Amino acid sequence: MSKLAAVYNKIEENLLYLSLICTVTVIFIQVVMRYVFSNSLSWSEELARYVFIWQTWLGASYATRMHRHLRIEVLSEHFHGNAKKTLELIVLGLWIFFGAFLFFKGSQLVGMIWHRRQVSAAMGIPIAIPYAAIPCGALAMTVRLVFQARGVLKGRPEDGNEAVPVEEQA
C-alpha cells in the first residue's frame, strides 16, 4: 500500500470517528437540554442531520475499501479464471460509471444550490455544504473502485485496501 493511500485511509477513518462522536454528543446534549432543562437547542438536530449525511457518504467509500457493500454473487460463483475476472471487471466498470454519474450530477446540484445562495433554517450555513457530501462521497467511492479494478487487472489486491473479502474470511 502506498504512503498516500495509507494517509488517505487514516484521514477517512478519523473523519468517520469524529463524525460519529459529534453526532452522538450533539444528540446527547439536545436530549439533556430538552428533558432536564426544558430548553432545547435550535440548531442541534440540523447539525446532527448534516453530519449524518456526510458520515453516510464517507462511509460508502469506507465500505467500498473494506468490501462491505452488498453483492449478489449467484452469477459469479459459476465462473472461474478469466471469465470470473472479466465479470468482475464489468461489474466494477458499471459501478465506476454510476459513481462518476453521481459525482457529475451531484456537482451540478451543489453548483445550482450554491448560486441560489440558500442557507439552512437553524444554523444559517449554505445548504450546499450538506449537499456537497454527494459528489465528495461519490468521488471517494469511485477512486476506491478504480483501485480495485486495477488490482483485478494486475491479479493482486488494490492499493489502499487491507481488507480481505468476506468470502475469504470464513
Domain range for 74: 3-162
pLDDT of residue 160: 46
139: three-class secondary structure by DSSP: helix
Question: Hey, which residues does 119 pair with through a beta bridge?
Answer: 126
Percent of the chain with pLDDT over 70: 91
Q: Has residue 43 been placed in a domain? A: yes
Percent of the chain with pLDDT over 90: 69
Beta-carbon contacts of 33 under 8 Å, excluding residues fewer than 6 positions away, are: 39, 40, 41, 44
**What spatial distance separates the first Cα and last Cα of the chain, rounded to whole Å?**
24
d(CA 159, CA 38): 52
Q: Has residue 167 been placed in a domain? A: no
Beta-carbon contacts of 142 under 8 Å, excluding residues fewer than 6 positions away, are: 96, 99, 100, 103
Provide the domain count of the chain.
1
For residue 2, name the pLDDT band (cuts at 50, 70, 90): confident
Query: Please, is 84 exposed, middle or buried when counting C-beta atoms within 10 Å of its C-beta (0-12, 13-18, 19+)?
Result: middle
Q: Has residue 21 been placed in a domain? A: yes
Q: What would the pLDDT profile of 117-166 be if each residue is shown by its tens digit?
A: 999 999 999 999 999 999 999 999 999 999 899 988 988 765 445 544 54
Which residue reads 454473487 in cell numbers?
73
Q: What is the pTM of this model?
A: 0.83
pLDDT of residue 32: 96
Q: Has residue 170 been placed in a domain? A: no
d(CA 151, CA 107): 28
7: three-class secondary structure by DSSP: helix
pLDDT of residue 158: 56
Q: What would the pLDDT profile of 33-54 be if each residue is shown by its tens digit?
A: 999 999 999 999 999 999 999 9
Q: What would the pLDDT profile of 59-80 be if each residue is shown by its tens digit?
A: 999 999 998 888 777 777 888 8
Average pLDDT over residues 17-30: 96
pLDDT of residue 23: 96
Q: Using alpha carbons, list the distances in angstroms from residue 77 to 29, 66, 92.
A: 49, 20, 16
Q: Is the model's pLDDT at 96 over the cut of 90?
A: yes
Q: Has residue 85 been placed in a domain? A: yes
Q: Has residue 24 been placed in a domain? A: yes
d(CA 26, CA 62): 23
Torsional class of 22: left (φ above 0), alpha (ψ -120 to 50), beta (otherwise) = alpha
Q: Has residue 169 been placed in a domain? A: no
